Structure 1
Amino acid sequence: MEFAFSPEAPVAVPVVDTDAHFAVRRVYCVGRNYAAHAREMGFDPDREPPFFFCKPADAVVPVAYGESLEIRYPSQTENYHYEAELVAVIGKGGADIPVVDALDHVWGYAVGLDMTRRDLQMKMREMGRPWEIGKAFDRSAPIGPIHKASEVGHFEKGEIWLTVNGVTKQKSDVAHLIWSVAETVADLSKFFRLEPGDVIYTGTPEGVGAVKKGDTIAVGVENLGELSVDIT
């Protein structure tokens, strides 16, 4: 097959303790999946059905352990926010997946950041328009190395945290997810056929806030390590 332009190589996230990489296909994000975060954003945290938004695959930026990724402060915003997340990755495709089978489709987990141009997101929300310019911009989804679920297990609980310049800003537990990983996978598969390479950012706890140039973000999940990002 001949292409008008050479296609880009897929985004490849390293797999812990192997030479393998996980090729990213699609990126799904769950909105307001911790009750306390829903409250701080001005919403009632009742257990309404989950909702999803997407980022492009090339928004994902792998961050190696022991290194700090440099990310430039993005354009068109004056309110650039961090959101710490547990990330689940899909290794087995399927649609209309029952909750009891959903974790069979989860191949691994990683630490992630959903970086957000909050002022643009809020402006679009007020206008009833899509969030893309607030959420789906370049390098908005840093991610740590992927751990196989067969080695670390699945996450019904586990501490999740984020610091800025060494000061704790977010601290919670995956047990506080409104919709568990299994429930999220099952619900998402009603609307999209999931395939190997799909990445799911499962939501952020309370404590989101703004960063500025010169700040260093560290985000971690229990048993998955910690990644670091420098805002330049």
Structure 2
Amino acid sequence: MFEFYKVLQSNKRVSILNEAYYELIGIPDPDNLIKGLTFVDYLKSESLSKSKEILTKIELQIENNNSAEGISLMINLKLKELEDTILSLNTDTYFNDEYHFFITDLENIRNILLNKYDFLRKGQTNKSIANSSANNKIQWLGKTNVLATLLYDLWKGQEKGKGKPNTPPMLKADKKDIERLLIENFIDSKGEPLTVSTISDYLNTSKPEKRAKIGTRIEL
């Protein structure tokens, strides 16, 4: 997953790479770049693209785990790979000075993962729940976004529309606390575990379109 950075670092003088090296990492020769686009501009664009690709792959690998323990192990493994790559690039003086944007993009991936999965990474998930069957959780028979919206509205206050006062918040918690409450204690109408990515979207303050609307939500 991080081969791109290993190959890139193997030749310090990126600006004088030979043609075979350009072909190996998929970067065109500087003479063939789009007019007005500098080589460094291209590298910055490529770095951003690679970092998004890496983040997507890591999130898929995490979500494909069906247990809290498996998710925790996968998160820690990928964070270690990230940290090792970042450390390697940081200790390379030339690389750090000239092409620090590669490091910054990897650090952004690390920060996103820490913010999104921190409570699972630290193993704060109740082990007895993680190792138990789905029968020990509460099954929500309605749409999952209705459940998540209810918790969101209790947490943030429910918007009542133009000219009407919103209900006050009734829960004092962090987003991660609400995520953990839902993931550890509920399964969906089909008996499947709630996923971190889905619940995180429902509770995202900048994604109101993901939550249940008036008419389908539970009114407070």
TM-score norm. by structure 1 comes to 0.19
Q: Which structure exhibits the higher relative contact order, with contacts defined as CA atoms closer than 8 Å and separated by 6 or more residues?
A: 1
Q: Which has the higher strand share?
A: 1
Q: Which has the higher helix share?
A: 2
Greater Rg by CA:
2
TM-score norm. by structure 2 comes to 0.20
